[in-house]
Amino acid sequence: MTSKLLSHLTSLWNKKNMKHNFPNFRCVKSDQTSLAMGTQWMIARLGGFVPGPILFGILIDDVCTHWLRSHDKNNEGSCYMYDNYWLGRYIVILAYGWKALELAFFSLSLWFYNINQRINQMEEVEQEEKEEEKGLEN
């Protein structure tokens, strides 16, 4: 039962992330797609796994209303009570903020892709015109 559930969840995760692979296949030369995908996933993992827990930890510590202090040298403790209203708001704001940033970067990549596509089309037209001129000269 557990293996079937894990297999199904993995399948859903991979389908969700397929949209991130298509720009690599379209914008990178075919002999460099594996390097591009490896670089993309390395940046995504570093960008998600490193700052994410730190930011959420700061956010959770920030909404603590009552700390239980320990009696050791560091005087560190754990949170006894959270302000649930602000905790929920901060988590939603942080999550939507990351999604807005993702949308901005995808929009920029689409914009730059369209510019490069237009430049390539113009270069192809110029190349065809030069070939036609050479054909007329001969």
Provide the pLDDT confidence category of residue 85 given band limits of 50, 70 and 90: very high
**Are 19 and 102 contacting, i.e. CB atoms less than 8 angstroms apart?**
no
What are 51-65's pLDDT values in tens digits?
888 888 888 888 999
Tens of pLDDT along 104-133? 988 887 787 777 777 777 778 788 777 777
- Which residue's entry shows tokens 């990549």? 109
Q: Could you give the CA distance from residue 33 to residue 135 in angstroms, rounded to a whole number?
A: 37
Q: State the pLDDT at residue 113.
A: 74
Q: How far is residue 26's CA from residue 114's CA, in Å, rounded to a whole number?
A: 12
pLDDT digits (tens, 9 = 90+) for 4-44: 766 766 666 555 555 666 666 677 787 888 888 888 888 87
Q: What is the pLDDT of residues 71-82, one digit of tens each?
A: 666 667 788 899
* Domain ranges across the chain: 36-137
pLDDT in the model for residue 20: 62
Band of pLDDT at residue 138, cut at 50, 70 and 90? low
* Tokens of residue 80, six digits: 């006894």
More confident residue, 125 or 88: 88
Nearest-CA neighbor of 28 among 40, 41, 14? Answer: 40
Phi/psi class of residue 69: alpha, beta or left (left: φ > 0; alpha: ψ in -120 to 50)? beta
Going by pLDDT thresholds of 50, 70 and 90, the confidence category of residue 86 is: very high
Rounded to a whole number of angstroms, the CA Rg of the chain reads: 25
Say how far apart CA 137 and CA 36 lie, in whole Å. Answer: 44
Beta bridge partners of 112: none
